[in-house]
Amino acid sequence: MAEIRVNKPRFDIRALPGFAFLALFTFALLYLPIITLVAYAFNGSESLTAWGGLSLRWFADAAANTAVQDAAWRSLVIALSAAIFATTAATMAAIATTRTAAYRGLGVKYAFINLPLMVPEIVTAVALLIVFARVKVWTGYSGLGYLILAHTAFCIPFAYLPIRARLEGMDSALERAAADLYATPWNVFRRVTLPLLRPGMIAGFMLAFVISLDDVVISEFVKSGGQDTLPTYMLGQLRRTVTPEVNAIATAFLALSVLLVTVFFFINRKKT
Q: Would you place residue 269 in the very low, low, confident or very high pLDDT band (cuts 50, 70, 90)?
A: low
The residue type found at 11 is: F
Q: Band the pLDDT of 188: cuts 50, 70, 90.
A: confident
Least confident of 2-6, 37-41, 244-248: 2-6
Kindly report, residue by residue over 147-177, the tens digit of the pLDDT: 999 999 999 999 999 999 888 888 777 888 8
Collapsed DSSP state (helix, strand, coil) of residue 99: coil
Q: Which amino acid makes up residue 197? A: L
Q: Report all structural domains of the chain as residue ranges with CATH numbers, in order of start.
A: 15-55 (no CATH), 66-271 (1.10.3720.10)
Helix (H) or strand (E) holding 181: none
Mean pLDDT of the chain: 84
Provide the pLDDT for residue 62. 85
Res 5: pLDDT: 60
Residue 230 vs residues 17, 240, 246, 251: alpha-carbon distances, Å: 45, 15, 10, 13
In 173-196, which positions are buried (b, 16+ CB within 10 angstroms) versus exposed (e)?
Answer: eebeebeeeebeeeebbeebbeeb
Amino acid at 178: A
Q: Return the pLDDT at 4.
A: 59
pLDDT > 90 fraction of the chain, expressed in percent and rounded: 17
CA distance 95 to 91: 6
Which residues pair with residue 43 across a beta bridge?
54
What would the pLDDT profile of 198-243 be if each residue is shown by its tens digit? 888 988 998 899 899 888 899 999 988 888 898 888 888 877 777 7
User: Residue 235: what pLDDT?
Assistant: 85
